Structure 1
Amino acid sequence: MRDRFVIPIGELYNKAALKRVNKSWRQYKFNLKKDYYKPTEKTLEEMCSATPPHGISSQNWIKLLKYWDSEKGKSLSTCGKAARASLNQLHRCGSNSFANKQADHEHEHGEKMSLLALWIKAHTGKDGSVLPGTMTEDFVDDAKAKVEQLRLINPSKSQQELEDEAFELTMHGGEIPDRPTGYGLGVRKSDIYGVHALLRKDGPRRIKQRTVVMDSNVKEEMSALHKKNEVLEKENEKLKDQVQENNILLKTLIGQFSQIVGGVNDGKGSTEILNCAKSVLGVTNQHVMNATGEQGKSTKDGN
């Protein structure tokens, strides 16, 4: 296929190409059977003895004719005809895909085509008529009536949104189908009703806005944490200084008490030593009271 057509590399493109080939192969087999298999006009022996179509060997052609003429082949053919006859809406866009019709409309009018508008475009002729014996006209009338009902409920919605919703409700009755209708070849249920569809409806703009809001919140939280860390660092420095001062005072107190105890023990206790110890205790007490008050104030401000 890539020798004759330009197909991008990738699993997604491989699957799409194989789906398109499968559809063409089925159409090719249908044309073969329609043109060469004539059980009402010829016997099986006469068809097998005739010259096979171009590109098919005699051996393979005889096998195919016998398969068509077998009970299994006839049973599957009957089921296929019944399924085809049960279709009550037939498109009239020929080989032009739904996706191409949507793209042509968007290129010409500068806006996206709704599902209902696409359905009408694909199932009506150039004069706007529908195929006789089909339910296309009734379906379109029901969908348009549903659009007007939805407009009364949701007047803020655009025409395209109303027509898309009305098409879904009329086509599927409000239920999620196993195979989406009206989207063309290769479209899966998850593409329309899954997570990817919700992301597409929200659009990259909303996702970007949400990311920006999240980034802004994170920045604010980080800034607040930095400020708290700065305050804690300052408080830690103050605590270190206080601890050092307390150690000095403690050493001084220990020295004074050691002198007092030593003097009393030696019988040399004097008023001068006691006054000096009293002075040291007073300074220490005042320092402790000041430190306690500043710590309480700092705690109150932090709260």
Structure 2
Amino acid sequence: MYVNDLVAKGWILQSFGRKVKNWRARIKELYHDPSLSLKEQISSRPKQVQKKQWKKLVKYWNKEKSKLVSEKNKANRAKKKMFQVTGKKSYARVREELKASKGQDPSRLEMFRACFSKDGTTKNLEASNAIAQMQQLSSNLPEGSIDKPGPDDVFSKVMGNDRNGDAVMYGLGVRAADVWGVIPSRSACHRENIQLKSQCEELTSTVVQLRAQVSEMEGSRGGSSVQPLASQHFPNVTNGHQRLRMKFSSKAF
């Protein structure tokens, strides 16, 4: 199986899972009444759902844990203040349309503006404020620079970091690592710096030992033609260690 086949398979499974989830939520909204008795809830089965499956769903919805999750999700949906104006059109379609009109991949700012406003205008206050902030930051970028997608782009500075490894404004199945690669974490950088420092200290110790051996050889040979120590081409690891230490001290952990 080719890589593209694996990517397509992953997207299809995710898309199918989302559609099943949305359909199940719709069925629950239309046919499930928690105020009825369990027997009445089961008897209100829609025709398109099998009896065994409906009974299983009703029992699941009546579990206390399921009720808590449902209430939490309902509260989260109520907090959502920005809504797309593109209807059922996917991010992928919007991106391709913008790419065709602009001749290059759109930034996440351009994607957000296209999906949450009409030509930059929207009645939604939160979306309008977000677009205004992004445009202000974009205007402050150095002339000729490109707002490349990533954790430090204009979109991220206004909307916050991407969560769960997803690449926001890219659509279903697109991961951040697929778009801008893997960004090392602070702890990973810290571990790498410690390892480099340890290696540098080992090299420094080795050079000191070699210099001591050369000095001993010079002393035993007396007036031989061995080049003076200052002219030996040993790597200046000590100075490199100092520069490395300065680099570490300037990095915030």
SS in 2 for 1:180: coil
Match of 2:82 in 1: 89
Q: Mapping of 1:23-102 within 5 angstroms?
A: 23-40=18-35, 42-50=36-44, 52-102=45-95
1: distance between equivalents of 2:118 and 2:47? 35
SS in 2 for 1:38: coil
1:161-194 CA distances to partner (integer Å, 9 max, x unpaired)?
59x932232222xx56533322211111212331
The question of whether the paired residues in 1 share the 8 Å contact of 2:120 and 2:131 is answered with no
The one of the two structures with greater contact order (alpha-carbon pairs below 8 A, sep at least 6) is 2
1:185-242 CA distances to partner (integer Å, 9 max, x unpaired)?
111121233169xxxxxxxxxxxxxxxxxxxxxxxxxxxxxxxxxxxxxxxxxxxxxx
1: distance between equivalents of 2:162 and 2:73? 25
After superposition, the Cα gap between the structure-2 partners of 1:12 and 1:53, relative to the gap in structure 1 and judged at 3 Å, is same
The question of whether the paired residues in 1 share the 8 Å contact of 2:86 and 2:115 is answered with yes
Q: Mapping of 1:106-117 within 5 angstroms?
A: 106-117=99-110
Gaps of 5+ in 2: 184-253
The normalised TM-score by structure 1 is 0.52
SS in 2 for 1:135: helix
Residue 114 of structure 1: how far off its partner (Å)? 2.4
After superposition, the Cα gap between the structure-2 partners of 1:26 and 1:176, relative to the gap in structure 1 and judged at 3 Å, is closer
2: distance between equivalents of 1:34 and 1:12? 33
Match of 1:167 in 2: 155
The question of whether the paired residues in 2 share the 8 Å contact of 1:176 and 1:193 is answered with no
From 129, 137, 162, the counterpart of 1:146: 137
Residue 143 of structure 1: how far off its partner (Å)? 0.8
Residue 90 of structure 1: how far off its partner (Å)? 2.2
2: distance between equivalents of 1:21 and 1:182? 20
Match of 1:155 in 2: 143
2: distance between equivalents of 1:58 and 1:145? 57
1:142-175 CA distances to partner (integer Å, 9 max, x unpaired)?
111111222xxx11225x659x932232222xx5
The normalised TM-score by structure 2 is 0.61
Residue 82 of structure 1: how far off its partner (Å)? 2.1
1:185 aligns with 2:178: no
1:117-166 CA distances to partner (integer Å, 9 max, x unpaired)?
210111125893244xx62111111111111222xxx11225x659x932
Residue 33 of structure 1: how far off its partner (Å)? 0.6
Residue 83 of structure 1: how far off its partner (Å)? 2.3
Counterpart of 1:117, as a letter, is E
2: distance between equivalents of 1:181 and 1:25? 22
Match of 1:137 in 2: 128
1:235-272 CA distances to partner (integer Å, 9 max, x unpaired)?
xxxxxxxxxxxxxxxxxxxxxxxxxxxxxxxxxxxxxx
After superposition, the Cα gap between the structure-2 partners of 1:149 and 1:90, relative to the gap in structure 1 and judged at 3 Å, is same
Residue 21 of structure 1: how far off its partner (Å)? 0.4
After superposition, the Cα gap between the structure-2 partners of 1:157 and 1:90, relative to the gap in structure 1 and judged at 3 Å, is same
How many residues of Structure 1 are paired with residues of Structure 2 in the alignment? 178
Residue 74 of structure 1: how far off its partner (Å)? 0.7
Residue 109 of structure 1: how far off its partner (Å)? 4.5
> Identity across aligned pairs (percent)?
23
1:18-42 CA distances to partner (integer Å, 9 max, x unpaired)?
01101111111111111111224x4
1: distance between equivalents of 2:10 and 2:169? 20
Worse-superposed segment, 136-145 or 82-91:
82-91
2: distance between equivalents of 1:21 and 1:123? 25
2: distance between equivalents of 1:170 and 1:139? 7
RMSD: 2.8
Q: Mapping of 1:177-256 within 5 angstroms?
A: 177=163, 178-194=165-181
